[in-house]
Structure 1
Amino acid sequence: MHPHIEKLYQTAAKAERTIIGLMSGTSLDGLDIALCKIRGAGLQTELKVEHFCTLPYSADFQARVRAVFSKREVDLQTLTLLNPWIAKVHGQLINQCLAEWQIAATDIDVIASHGQTVFHCPLRQHQDPQWGNATLQLGDGDHLAVTTGITTISDFRQKHIAAGGEGAPLAVYGDYLLFSSATENRIMLNIGGIANLTWLPQSRDANAVFSTDIGPGNTLMDAYIRQVQPGQYFDEGAQLALQGQVSLSLLSALQQDPFFSLSFPKTTGPEVFNLAYLQRAQHASGTLLLTAADVMATLNAFTATMIAQAIKNSCAAERAVVYASGGGIHNPLLMQQLRQQLPQCRITTTAELNINPDAKEAVLFALLANECLVGGQQRFSNAREGIPSVTMGKVSFAD
């Protein structure tokens, strides 16, 4: 047996594994790094976050990634060079964290790397029957493993697509295994660049669980603030939005995309919801002369309205607790609007479940890596809702 395979076997046999989960979202603000201690697998998973940090990306990193991000036409050389380069940058950030935490690389069993999504392209989006679903994440696992000296499990989304899914949302697997409750209906709401939700009925019946993208979370607001206030990456504290008034005509135009009439589950990305989308909506509604504050207020209302509608459509007859996570929870106006539009739901964050809401996505990839190593005995799937039963992740060794 190869020593690497033997070490994987020994890791899988341990009572507790130390796994670093990574998440780099569409906001491109930084790399989320969660060091997790995980016991068990499946519904018996016990997870504790020992350390968490978000290390910001440099302006150079953001510029290089944005050169290809969500663009149909890119420079192929740049795309090719980014794949190992992103992984090396991520590896250096992990090494920095481990040094600050005074933890040796040899104390980490594996890294779970999501990579950096640069293009998401499900069939429902491109509508070319010659092709199926596709998605692309950069940040090669081999380079990350070599840079850190730690075995890496990466590229989770491809197996989901190979099994018939759209490659997203993957949070449903971790949501079901980690957050299912026998005492209450739960909605796990993540407000990242794109907002998505997982419905977890208190019956814990896997055939009733589903997960779906909703539409824009922060992506339009973040893109717009970068345009009108260069050097600012998000509307901190909703300062600009709070100065404006919602334009009902623009809000209505923003809601007209065919994506919103598609049945659940469905996926989307900044490839659809971007500044060009906003400009088309402004042209259609005759609102090109709105102030920046009014546009931002309307974009904020747009995100809140589509999230509220999705929750009402997905579980209208059920009472549920909404556990929110992601950058959107720091937008006070957005959270206020959600509570106003969803009076039947108690809205809180995953902090109430002992998971830092900023760390949740990184934690869930650590959990997927754990399932890759020791899961499989308790399979979770719901084919009707586009959730295939698969083991995700590719293993890269450090030498």
Structure 2
Amino acid sequence: MNQNIKKLYSIAQKEKRIIVGLMSGTSMDGLDVALCEFRKSGGDTEIVLMHFDTISFPEDIKDEIRKVFARKEIDFQQLCVLNPWIGNLHGQIVNDLLLKWRIPTEKVDIIASHGQTVFHSPKILHRLEKFPNATLQIGDGDHLAVKTGIITLSDFRQKHCAAGGEGAPLAVYGDYLIFSKRGENRILLNMGGIANFTYLAGNLDANEVFASDTGPGNTIIDAYMKKYFDLPYDEDARIARQGDVNQVLLTALKQDDFFMKPFPKTTGPELFNLEYLANAQQQSNTTYLSDENILATLCRFSAETIAEAIQKSILQLPEYIVNPGSFRIYGSGGGVHNPLIMQFLKELLPDFDFRLTDDLGISGDAKEAILFATLANEALVGGKTDFGSRKGIPSVSMGKISFPQ
């Protein structure tokens, strides 16, 4: 037996596994690194978060990624060289953090790497009939494995697309395994660059799990802040809270047919970007608006499209009709740190009890890195959960394996 296969087999036989989860989102602000201890799998999964850190990317790294990020036309050489470069970069970050945490490399069983999304192109966005749903993440797993000396699972989203999904949101799998609770209907709302949510039924039936993107979270807000203020985001919504929501612009922002399409669906900065905002301003004759009013309107845009998606997909459920108070929303992602978005959401969804995933013992900042570590654990020892035939949630094992030797 090949020694790499033998080692992988021995890891799968362990009572507990140490897995590093890596996540870099569409905000490109840095790499989330979660060192987790796993026992068991499926609905019996037990996780201990041993260490967590976010390593911010300097502007020169962000600038290199922006040359290809969410662009239809790029320098193909740039994409080609970025793929191994990002893999090596992430690998060096893992090496540095393990040294900082005093964790010997040989104690880590697996790295689970999401990679860096550079383009997301489901059929509802590319509208090319003969082509399937597609998405592209870079940060080559082989380079990461060789750099660290640790077996690496990566490129999780491709299997989802191959099985008929859109490559997102993948949080639904980890959400179900980690956060389901009998007797409590839960909505796990993640507000990163793009907002998405997972519905978890209190009866623990995997066939009732539902997940979808809703539209923008922070992506347009952050892009606006970068262009006009040279800041990565509007901290505590300080600028947005000085403005007023412009209803005319808000109406124009909500006109895209993405919001009319059936659930589940996914999207990305390929659609929701500064060009999208500029077009809406032109159509609504609101190019005169102040920065403060634009940012306030963008916060309301994110909040309303999130709330309306939840209302359309959740409020007709029998459980909600009988007992609306049995539903709780647990938030995570950068959007929970935006007090204006959170204020709007609570106004728009007054029947829901809003909490944070931190209240469930999982840091909202670490959640997505932990979720990809969970997918790797399932690929090793689980993969038996049946999500039924619901669109967008194929019952598949995800992650491509890269060996260090």
TM-score, normalised via structure 2 length: 0.97
Q: Which segments of structure 1 move beyond 6 Å, counting only runs of 4 or more?
A: none
C-alpha separation between the residues in 2 aligned to 1:296 and 1:96? 37
1:307-351 CA distances to partner (integer Å, 9 max, x unpaired)? 111111111141310011111111111111111111110011100
After TM superposition, list the pairs within 5 Å mapping 1:84-163 onto structure 2. Answer: 84-163=84-163
Letter in 2 for 1:391: S
Q: Write out aligned runs for 1:357-396 (5 A).
A: 357-376=364-383, 378-396=384-402
1:330 corresponding residue in structure 2: 337
Amino acid at match of 2:340: L
Counterpart of 1:395, as a letter, is: I
Structure 1: how far apart are the matches of 2:386 and 2:48?
Answer: 22
**Counterpart Cα distance in 2 of 1:114 and 1:365:** 7
Shift of 1:82: 0.3
Q: Distance in 1 between matches of 2:388 and 2:272?
A: 28
Q: Tell me by how many angstroms 1:389 deviates.
A: 1.1
Counterpart Cα distance in 1 of 2:250 and 2:240: 14
**Residue identity opposite 1:337 in structure 2:** F
* CA root-mean-square deviation: 0.8
Superposition deviation, residue 384 in structure 1: 2.4
Q: Give the corresponding residue for 1:269.
A: 268
Give the distance between the partners of 1:285 and 1:383, measured in 2 at CA.
42
1:398 counterpart residue number: 404
Q: Which residue of 2 aligns with 1:355?
A: 362
Instruction: Give yes or no for contact 1:339–1:347 (8 Å, CA) kept in 2.
Output: yes
Distance 2:313 2:181 in 1: 18
- Closer/same/farther in 2, CA of residues 392 and 228 from structure 1, 3 Å limit: same
Work out whether residues 165 and 391 of structure 2, in 8 Å CA contact, stay in contact via their aligned partners in 1: no
Instruction: State the TM-score, normalized to the length of structure 1.
Output: 0.98
> Contact 1:18–1:109 (CA<8 Å) still a contact in 2?
yes
Distance 2:313 2:225 in 1: 31
**CA deviation after TM superposition for structure 1 residue 88, in Å:** 0.6
| Structure 2 counterpart of 1:334, one-letter code | I
The letter for the 2-side match of 1:355 is I
Q: Which moved more, 1:333-342 or 1:264-273?
A: 333-342
SS of the residue corresponding to residue 278 of structure 1 reads helix
Unaligned 5+ residue runs, structure 2? Answer: none
Q: How far is the alpha carbon of 1:380 from its aligned partner?
A: 2.8
Greater Cα offset, 273-282 or 326-335: 326-335
Shift in Å, 1:383: 2.2
Q: SS at the partner of 1:214?
A: strand
Match in the other structure for 1:297: 296
Q: CA deviation at 1:382?
A: 3.4
Q: Distance in 2 between matches of 1:226 and 1:368?
A: 33
The answer as to 2:48 corresponding to 1:48 is: yes
Please show how residues 204-243 of structure 1 align to structure 2 within 5 Å.
204-230=204-230, 232-243=231-242
Q: Which amino acid aligns with 2:299?
A: N
Unaligned runs of 5+ in 1: none
Q: Are 1:210 and 1:382, in contact at CA under 8 Å, matched by a contact in 2? A: no
Return the alpha-carbon distance in structure 2 between the equivalents of residues 38 and 347 of structure 1. Answer: 28
Distance in structure 1 (CA, Å) of the matches to 2:332 and 2:390: 26
- Equivalent residue, structure 2, for 1:195: 195
Task: Report SS of the residue matched to 1:77.
Answer: helix
Question: What residue is the counterpart of 1:18 in the other structure?
Answer: 18
Counterpart secondary structure, 2:390: helix
Shift of 1:379: 2.3
Letter in 2 for 1:324: G
- Per-residue deviation, residues 153-190 of structure 1 (Å, max 9, x unmatched): 00000011111111111111111111111121000000
Q: Deviations over 1:87-111 (max 9, x none)?
A: 1111111111111111111110000
Q: Which amino acid aligns with 1:358?
A: D
Identity of aligned residues (%): 55
**Secondary structure of 2:23's aligned partner:** strand
Q: Contact between 2:145 and 2:404, CA under 8 Å: does it hold in 1? A: yes
Contact 1:173–1:380 (CA under 8 A) maintained in structure 2: no
Measured after TM superposition, the shift of residue 203 of structure 1 is 1.4
Matches of 1:237 and 1:272, distance apart in 2: 25
Aligned length: 397
Q: Secondary structure at the match of 1:385?
A: coil
TM-aligned CA deviation for residue 126 of structure 1: 0.9
Retained in 1: the 8 A contact 2:42–2:378?
yes
Cα deviations across residues 101-136 of structure 1 (Å, max 9, x unaligned)?
111111100000000000000011111111111100
1:179-235 deviations in whole A, cap 9, x for unaligned?
A: 1111210000000000000011101122211110000000010001111102x1000
